[in-house]
Amino acid sequence: MVMNPKQVFLSVLIFGVAGLLLFMYLQVWIEEQHTGRVEKTRERKATSGWGPMSYLQPVPRIMTTEKTQEHTTKQQKTEFHMPENLKEKKENLLNSERFARVLTKTSHSQGGDQTLNKIMESPTNKLIEKHQGTKTLFKKFSELNWPSDIRPLNKSLVKDDKWKKTDVTQEKRRSFLQEFCKKYGGVSHPQSHVFHMVSRIYVEDKHKILYCEVPKAGCSNWKRILMVLNGLASSAYNISHDAVHYGKHLKKLDSFDLKGIYTRLNTYTKAVFVRDPIERLVSAFRDKFEHPNSYYHPVFGKAIIKKYRPNVCEEALINGSGVKFKEFIHYLLDSHRPVGMDIHWEKVSKLCYPCLIKYDFVGKFETLEEDANYFLQLIGAPKDLKFPNFKDRHSSDERTNAQVVRQYLKDLTRTERQLIHDFYHLDYLMFNYTTPFL
């Protein structure tokens, strides 16, 4: 039987349509599988290796203790765009490869939640909705606008006049950071995942607190405070180090969906505590490389010794112990590091994004107890809850202070000291730190 041209055309058309539908179905299925894997990966990243939850006891872990919590971040090349007088530093506040898409909408503007709800309730075809839903939600979310100004602190719960001086200092810090970000921090299209941007922020829903963790700036005791505020412990003084860092007790902001993230960022009190960058760096080195450590020695120590120590002995390459501060600095300043960055010496500007997220409270390690206890007054914490002042680990060691820092810097050249400062230049500027170690 010979088919006429019309029949041939119809046959080709039918097969073409069928093929297109099959292609669309497979594309949706592949996208669905990929999305599921991404979510599972993110979930495993937050929870893998933990055993059953026990609030005040160390949690049994499958993975190495240090490896699970104190993970490394991938090395990132960053190009910044500063005004003419700062261009030589080659650092811009926000325009790094890891910056997140801007989440946005003022806390008082109407329609933000409605927009998100409309997106999620879109009556499109189920297959197309599965395929496009996530992309559409992210696109709409990225079109919202951040509040242009920080909100005034609610001081109605502060009754004691003794906090007046602390309050004046706090307002100066807030204003300084805000003005700095207005002047130097403008970015139209930050590029990265919103979940990465908020991945260091802890959530305490009862008192509506968001706390951005900066390692080596009092973060362990801050987590203890959050656990007490959450009702997980009666006192911050009887919570172990392992329970703080390896227990699945505190929620992070990236564990919520986009609407949950947006709502909390715009309604909760957001706090960040910082520290002089070089002092924080020395503190991290002492903690991770001058004491036995089953993660930092084999992962960082071996790589650092192998690349930066001439005539290295075999034993040092096997265990990675005995890294010298000068070798550590060579690693830090190397644009081709043999192993990536780590949160303990990463810049605050890349941990907490302080010009994208408008922090309501800026505390400093140098005045930690005073700032922390004032903050607890502001958020209406129980009157008997005070910020703990004990050293979390290596309690017999002298605290890292300016005098200790100078002892470590004395073996570096002036050029090396200047390069360290340049590396943390943005943090020094944003938080108005002086440079006493040069």
Task: Give the per-residue pLDDT at 241.
Answer: 81
Nearest CA-CA partner of 211 in 104, 352, 63:
352
Nearest CA-CA partner of 295 in 118, 63, 46:
63
Helix axis angle for 277-289 and 402-409, nearest 10°, is: 70
In this structure, which amino acid lies at residue 305? I
List of residues 6+ apart from 421 with CB closer than 8 A: 278, 428, 435, 437, 438
Question: Does the reported pTM lie above 0.85?
Answer: no
Alpha helices in 143-275 (DSSP H): 164-184, 194-197, 219-229, 241-246, 258-267
Domain range enclosing 189: 161-277+346-397+426-431
For residue 417, give the 3-state DSSP assignment: helix
Domain presence at residue 6:
no
**What is the spatial distance between Cα 112 and Cα 133, in angstroms, rounded to a whole number?**
17
**What is the spatial distance between Cα 131 and Cα 32, in angstroms, rounded to a whole number?**
7
Domain presence at residue 336:
no
Alpha helices in 241-383 (DSSP H): 241-246, 258-267, 277-289, 296, 302-308, 314-319, 325-333, 368-378
Between strands 251-252 and 341-342, the pairing is: unpaired
Q: Under a CB-based contact definition with an 8 Å cutoff, are residues 271 and 277 in contact?
A: no
Q: What is the DSSP string of 61-99?
A: BSS-HHHHHS-EE----B-----GGGGGG---SS-BTTP
Residue 72 φ/ψ, nearest 5 degrees: -90, 155
**What is the spatial distance between Cα 253 and Cα 205, in angstroms, rounded to a whole number?**
11
List of residues 6+ apart from 103 with CB closer than 8 A: 141, 142, 144, 146, 194, 197, 258, 261, 262, 265
Domain presence at residue 212:
yes
Nearest CA-CA partner of 65 in 227, 243, 283, 252:
243
Task: Give the per-residue pLDDT at 152.
Answer: 76
* Chain position carrying tokens 């039987």: 1
**What is the spatial distance between Cα 386 and Cα 368, in angstroms, rounded to a whole number?**
12
Please give the torsion angle defined by the CA atoms of residues 280, 283, 289 and 293, in that order, rounded to the nearest 10 degrees: -100
**What is the spatial distance between Cα 329 and Cα 293, in angstroms, rounded to a whole number?**
19
**What is the spatial distance between Cα 306 and Cα 296, in angstroms, rounded to a whole number?**
14
pLDDT of the chain, 438 residues: tens digit per residue:
566 777 777 777 787 777 777 766 666 566 555 544 544 444 444 333 333 333 333 333 333 334 434 444 433 333 333 333 444 343 334 433 333 333 333 333 334 344 334 333 444 344 344 344 434 444 444 444 445 566 778 887 787 788 999 999 999 999 999 999 998 875 444 555 889 999 999 999 999 999 999 999 999 999 999 999 999 888 888 888 888 887 778 999 999 999 999 999 999 999 999 999 999 999 999 999 999 999 999 999 999 999 999 999 989 999 999 999 999 999 999 999 999 999 999 999 999 999 999 999 999 999 999 999 999 999 999 999 999 988 777 777 899 999 999 999 999 999 999 999 999 999 999 999 998 777
For residue 211, give the 3-state DSSP assignment: strand
**What is the spatial distance between Cα 360 and Cα 200, in angstroms, rounded to a whole number?**
16
CA distances from 34 to 41, 124, 350 (A): 10, 21, 27
Domain presence at residue 354:
yes
Domain presence at residue 52:
no
Domain presence at residue 242:
yes
Domain presence at residue 221:
yes
* Chain position carrying tokens 């909390």: 264
The count of structural domains within the chain is: 1
Task: Give the per-residue pLDDT at 156.
Answer: 78
Domain presence at residue 217:
yes
List of residues 6+ apart from 219 with CB closer than 8 A: 213, 273
